[in-house]
Amino acid sequence: MAAVTRLSLLVLLLVGALVAPAFAQDGERIRGQLTAEGEGVPDVTITVSLDGEPVGTGVSDAEGEWFVDLPGPATYEVTIDVDTLPEGVQLRNPDRTTLEIRVGEGATATALFALGEREEVGPILLQRIAQNTVNGLKFGLIIGMTAIGLSLIFGTTGLINFAHGDMVSMGAFIAFFFNAVLGLHLILSALIAVIVGAVIAGAIDRGIWHPLRRRRVGLISMLVVSIGLAFVIRHVILFYFGGSRRPYRDYTLQTGIELGPIRLQPVEMWVMGLSVVILIAVALMLTRTKLGKGMRAVADNRDLAESSGINVERVVLSVWILGGGLATIGGIFLGMIESVDYLMGFRLLLLMFAGVILGGLGTAYGAMLGSLLVGLVSELSTVWFSSQVKYVWALAVLIIILLVRPQGLLGQKERIG
């Protein structure tokens, strides 16, 4: 019964952490889809105002879809930020940057911005390959950061944590809460969020997984429990923050800097740079410190590590704390370069799976390598194929690697019996 108490405490913690929902969406909404050449145009900012006062901002997703939840029925001005349109994409009528939209009670209205053809400028193919390679690395670094925790948790406990993606969303939203709701600067919010995220991850291990491991609950049952946990986290976020995509308050709407064929916003450069630094730090931690060596030893052979005097449960707890912290950072970075929404982590989870299996389940370096490749594959696919199906390629890689080399690129064949 102690487990019940712990579990309910944990749930209370999750639910009670935020006393009242920061945002709730009910009824009125303006939505739209931005497409050019039949493909969605992502990352475009749209602001909705009422009598000149902004009431909300939306950012288009990979399919070009966006929406903004509204405070009530009224006639709103919807403005597209033309600076956030990608290179070569323009409004068909450059004067129509603002539309007036009437929204009735509980209704969802659609605002349409017609976009023109992409301009064919210069050696477009090479340029797009270069740009998408950089985007792929950027995305891959974020996947990698979150996937290390997933892989190490699997390595040390044998559990595939289906709630890992939602730990990413949770981290992003903790930062969002401090940043957009309480008004702290994003850097401060991020630091607080990393600590909170790591502590919650540790609490999840102690409160749920540790007792289940002690009761020797089977692997399959544990996987179902992790799915249940994922559900709880995801929908608690939905409850408090609603279903829309939201940007952080800082570092949005930056102008890109041209670097040869590539255009990057400063925030993207910072995210990439910091990701590299963090990944190197984690690698050093794993190889140089006693704790890191312990983690690798437990992941390698749990029984052997235990018999050689390593406190396995403490190592596992550290892995969860590390994984929770990294998931939070990954979530915040993803939120900074795109936006935050309650499904962001789940979408990322599938790519993390592809990354860790590609690299080799249970290995930290494999997770990094595999994730980079997954990021590259999905972003580079958009050079030739529709961006709406870019995740499909990454997931196809997952199935192919299972067919030809199920142990992954860096994994070793398992011994049977």
Partner 1 sequence: MSSDAPAATDPLEGIAPEPGVAKPDPILTIDGVKRSFGGITAVNVDHLEIQRGIITGLIGPNGAGKTTLFNLMTGFDTPDTGTWRFNGAPLSGVPAHLVARRGMVRTFQLTKALSRMTVMENMQLGATGQLGERFLPSLIPGLWRRQEREITARADELLARFKLDHMRDEYAGTLSGGQRKLLEMARALMVEPELVMLDEPMAGVNPALTQSLLGHIKGLRDDESRTVVFVEHDMDVVFDISDWVVCMAEGAIIAEGPPSSIGQNAAVIEAYLGATHGQAPARRRKQAGGTDQ
Partner 2 sequence: MGTVIFFDALRTAIGPTAAAYALLAVGLNMHFGYTGLLNFGQVGFMLVGAYGVAITVATFGGPLWLGVLVGIAGAVVLALILGIPTLRLRADYLAITTIAAAEILRFITRTSGSEPVTGGVFGLRQFAGGFYALNPIPPGSYLGPLSISHGRLWTMIVGWGLVAVFTLLLWALMRSPWGRIIRSIREDEDAARSLGKNVFYYKMQSLVLGGVIGAVGGAVFAVSLQTVQPDTFLPQVTFFAFAILILGGTATWIGPIIGALIFWFVIAGMQSALRRLSDAGQLPEFFGSQAVGATTLTFVGLLLMLLMIFRPQGMFGNKREMQLDVK
Residues that bind partner 2 (CB under 8 A): 3-4, 7, 11, 20-21, 24-27, 35, 38-40, 63, 160, 162, 208, 212, 216-221, 223-225, 227-236, 238-239, 242-243, 346, 350, 353-354, 357, 386, 388-389, 391-392, 395-396, 398-399, 402-403, 406, 416-417
Distance CA 67, CA 58 (A): 6
Sequence-separated (6 or more) residues with CB below 8 Å from residue 335: 172, 175, 176, 247, 248, 344
Least separation in angstroms between CB 289 and partner 2: 29
Q: Which partner from the list partner 1, partner 2, none does 218 bind, CB cut-off 5 to 8 Å by kind?
A: partner 2
Q: Which partner from the list partner 1, partner 2, none does 290 bind, CB cut-off 5 to 8 Å by kind?
A: none
Nearer residue to partner 2 within complex by CB, 238 or 262? 238
H helix runs in 186-311, sequence order: 186-204, 210-214, 219-241, 266-288, 290-300, 302-307
Residues 376-415 touching partner 1, rule: CB under 8 A, are 412-413, 415
Largest Cα–Cα distance in the chain? 73
Nearer residue to partner 1 within complex by CB, 309 or 417? 417
Least separation in angstroms between CB 413 and partner 1: 8
Nearer residue to partner 2 within complex by CB, 9 or 227? 227
Which residue matches tokens 């550290």?
318
Residue 65 backbone dihedrals phi, psi, to 5 degrees: -85, 145
Q: Which partner from the list partner 1, partner 2, none does 295 bind, CB cut-off 5 to 8 Å by kind?
A: none
Least separation in angstroms between CB 371 and partner 2: 15
Q: Which partner from the list partner 1, partner 2, none does 20 bind, CB cut-off 5 to 8 Å by kind?
A: partner 2
Distances (CA, A) of 52 to 25, 47, 301, 333: 21, 11, 63, 31
Nearer residue to partner 2 within complex by CB, 96 or 235? 235
Contact (Cβ atoms closer than 8 angstroms) between residue 248 and residue 184: no
301 binds partner 1 (CB under 8 A): no
Which residue matches tokens 């939201």?
246
52 binds partner 1 (CB under 8 A): no
97 binds partner 1 (CB under 8 A): no
Distance CA 165, CA 46 (A): 27
Least separation in angstroms between CB 211 and partner 2: 9
Q: Which partner from the list partner 2, partner 1, none does 283 bind, CB cut-off 5 to 8 Å by kind?
A: none
Cβ neighbours, 10 Å, residue 223: 14
Least separation in angstroms between CB 242 and partner 2: 6
Q: Which partner from the list partner 1, partner 2, none does 17 bind, CB cut-off 5 to 8 Å by kind?
A: none
Q: Which partner from the list partner 1, partner 2, none does 415 bind, CB cut-off 5 to 8 Å by kind?
A: partner 1
Tokens of 14: 């999750």
Contact (Cβ atoms closer than 8 angstroms) between residue 385 and residue 397: no
Beta partners for 75?
102
Nearer residue to partner 2 within complex by CB, 148 or 329? 148
Report, in angstroms and rounded to the nearest whole number, the Rg of the chain calculated over CA atoms.
22
Q: What is the 3 state secondary structure string of 144-175?
A: HHHHHHHHHHHHHHCCCCCCHHHHHHHHHHHH
216 binds partner 1 (CB under 8 A): no
416 binds partner 1 (CB under 8 A): yes
Q: How many CA atoms lie within 13 A of 281 on its CB side?
A: 9
Q: Which partner from the list partner 1, partner 2, none does 412 bind, CB cut-off 5 to 8 Å by kind?
A: partner 1
Distance CA 30, CA 100 (A): 11
Nearer residue to partner 2 within complex by CB, 138 or 390? 390
Contact set with partner 1 (CB under 8 A) = 412-413, 415-417
